[in-house]
Amino acid sequence: MTKITAAISAVGKYIPEYALTNKELETMVDTNDEWITSRTGIKERRILKGEGLGTSYMAIKAAEDLLQKSNTNPEEIDMVIVATATPDMPVASTAAYTASKIGAVNAFSYDLQAACSSFLYGMSTAAKYIESGRYKKVLLIGADKMSSIIDYTDRATCIIFGDGAGAVLFEPNDDGLGLQDEYLRSDGIGREFLKIDAGGSILPPSEETIKNKQHFVHQEGRTVFKFAVSNMADVSEKMLTRNNLTKEDIQWLVPHQANKRIIEATANRVGLEDDKVMMNIHKYGNTTSATLPLLLADYEKELKKGDNLIFAAFGGGFTWGAIYLKWAYNS
C-alpha cells in the first residue's frame, strides 16, 4: 500500500497597503534607517489600518487568494487552522470565523499559537491529519496583526514587526512528495525573555496594566538573538544530517524572517549560498506566523516539482524547529 504524504498544493497571501518605512520610524523613536537596516535587514513593514480590522481580515484575504488561484471549492475543505499570536479575540476562535467567512462550511477549525513557530508547528499538525487518511484538504493560514501588540515608543520592538497573512493548502500525495521529516522543540526557559506580561490568567487586564504598558510585546533582544541563532542553525543542520542530505541536495532554505543576521547564520551553518535562501524581511519585517507562507507565496514562481525545502523557525516560549519538505508542483 502506497504511503500517503501531505503535500502543499496551493498558496495565497495578503499584505496590507500601508508601508511603515524606516524613515517614518525616525520621526517616531530614536533610531535611523542605517541602524535598523544594518542590524535587522528591514527597510519597511506593512501595517493594517482600518477600524474593526483584525487578524481574521488578513487570514480571510489570504485564503480567498489561495482559493481563487487554485480554483478550489471551499466546501471541499475539511479543516482550517489559523496559526496566530494575535487572534481577533481571546476566546472566540479566529479560525472558526475565518472558515465561515470563506465558505468552508464543512470544515472544523481552530487556532494554533506557538509565537513565531506557529506556522511551522501548523505544518506538522496539518500534515498529520492528511497522513491519517481521514482528511483530504487542510487549509493552514499564518496571520498576525503585530501592530496591535506593539508599543510604537519602544524602539527595541517597533522596528521589527509588521502585519500580514499567508495560506497553504495541504492535500494527500502518493508520489512521495510533501512533508518528509520534522524536528520540533520547545523550552520554557524562554518565557521571561519574549512575552506580553498582562492580559492572561496570571495578570488580567486592569487600569494598572494598561498604564504600565504591560499589554505590549517585551523582548530582551540579545538573549532572544543568541538562542535563535544557535537553535535555528542546529535544527537545520540536523534535518540535513539525519536525512543524508548535502547542501547540493537543497534547493531552498525557508527561514523565519526575524532578523537578517539570524537568517545568514542559519544558511552558513548548512553551507547554502544566498541564491538558495528565501528572504523578504526587507519588505515586510517580522510578520510572526505569516513569515513562512509569505515566503512561499513570493517565491512560488521559482519553485519546481521535487525541490527540497528546509523550513526553520524560532519563537517565544521558546519554540523552534525545522521541517524537510519536497515541493509538489510547478507553478
Residue among 116, 158, 173, 259 flagged as catalytic: 116
256 is catalytic: yes
Nearest to 319 by CA among 204, 193, 185: 185
Q: Are 59 and 53 in contact (CB under 8 A)?
A: no
The one catalytic residue in 22, 173, 231, 286 is 286
Region of residue 72 (phi > 0: left; psi between -120 and 50: alpha; otherwise: beta): beta
Catalytic residue status for 286: yes
Per DSSP, 254 falls in state E
List 22, 231, 256, 259, catalytic entry: 256
For the chain, strand residue ranges (E) read 5-14, 18-21, 44-47, 79-83, 108-112, 138-145, 163-173, 178-186, 194-195, 218-219, 252-255, 308-315, 319-326
Omega into 318 within 30° of 0, i.e. cis? yes
> What does DSSP assign to residue 162?
-
SS3 109: strand
Which residues are tagged catalytic?
116, 256, 286
